């Protein structure tokens, strides 16, 4: 039997990711079927299973797209900014991504994080993590933060800060303005690190 070829792999994955994000804003995740995702994306079910093992894998991959935040626009925006401003930009961009793109689908991600230790977007080799660490190192070099602090530890601290905000928001079913809460809480974070 001849092996089936799947063309436009990147475009197919992108269509599936777009479909799960769109559909999760219209109805509860549990009620979304793979058939609906494929129909919305214009992709066959076989092609879906070529790329993802399950609907949960697709949801996790949608969350992992946060690495795309570190793009040329981000680099250009940060080019002439002070380290403290860069820190605000990178943390806020993550919160905006969750609030505007992922939405309450974040609950699925957190459920999987709790159930499966292999699921984490905050691993040291990921682009977002590396970029955040570099920005924090700049903050230490420019004496924006206490020099005795370790950039790796503070990277973890900042990520726990983000997770905590997002987890609380998801516990409240997204019923408050996540960006507004971030701006308020960020000042406490920054003041503690100075």
Residues of the chain where predicted confidence (pLDDT) is lower than 70: 1-8, 117-122
> How far apart (Å, rounded) are the C-alpha atoms in residues 125 and 118?
14
pLDDT reported for residue 118:
63
Q: What is the pLDDT of residue 8?
A: 57
Q: 52-71 burial by CB neighbour count: b if 16+ within 10 A, else e? A: beebbebbbebbbbbeebbe
Q: Decide: helix, strand or coil at residue 9.
A: helix
d(CA 183, CA 114): 27
CA–CA gap between residue 62 and residue 65 (Å, rounded)? 5
pLDDT of the residue at 133: 92
Task: Give residue 92's pLDDT.
Answer: 95
Question: Could you identify the residue written with the tokens 């079910």?
Answer: 45
pLDDT at 119: 58
Q: Which is nearest to 39 in space by CA: 19, 54, 60?
A: 19
Q: Would you state the pLDDT for residue 77?
A: 85
Handedness of CA 144, 148, 151, 157 (dihedral sign): negative
| 190, HSE (Cβ side, Cα atoms, 13 Å) | 18
Q: What pLDDT, on the 0 to 100 scale, is given for residue 3? A: 40
pLDDT at residue number 60: 85
């Amino acid at each position: 039997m001849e092996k089936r070829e799947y063309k436009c792999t990147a475009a197919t994955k992108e269509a599936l990711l777009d479909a799960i994000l769109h559909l999760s804003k219209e109805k509860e995740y549990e009620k979304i079927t793979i058939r609906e995702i494929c129909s919305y994306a214009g992709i066959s079910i076989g092609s879906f299973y070529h790329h993802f093992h399950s609907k949960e894998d697709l949801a996790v991959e949608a969350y992992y797209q946060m690495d795309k935040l570190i793009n040329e626009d981000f680099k250009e925006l940060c080019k002439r900014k002070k380290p403290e401003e860069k820190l605000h930009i990178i943390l806020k961009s993550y919160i905006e991504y969750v609030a505007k793109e992922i939405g309450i689908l974040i609950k699925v991600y957190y459920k999987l994080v709790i159930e499966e230790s292999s699921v984490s977007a905050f691993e040291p080799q990921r682009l977002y993590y590396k970029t955040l660490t570099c920005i924090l190192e700049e903050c230490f070099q420019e004496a924006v933060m206490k020099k005795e602090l370790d950039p790796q530890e503070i990277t973890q601290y900042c990520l726990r800060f983000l997770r905590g905000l997002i987890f609380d928001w998801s516990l409240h079913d997204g019923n408050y303005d996540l960006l507004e809460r971030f701006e308020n809480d960020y000042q406490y974070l920054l003041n503690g690190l100075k």
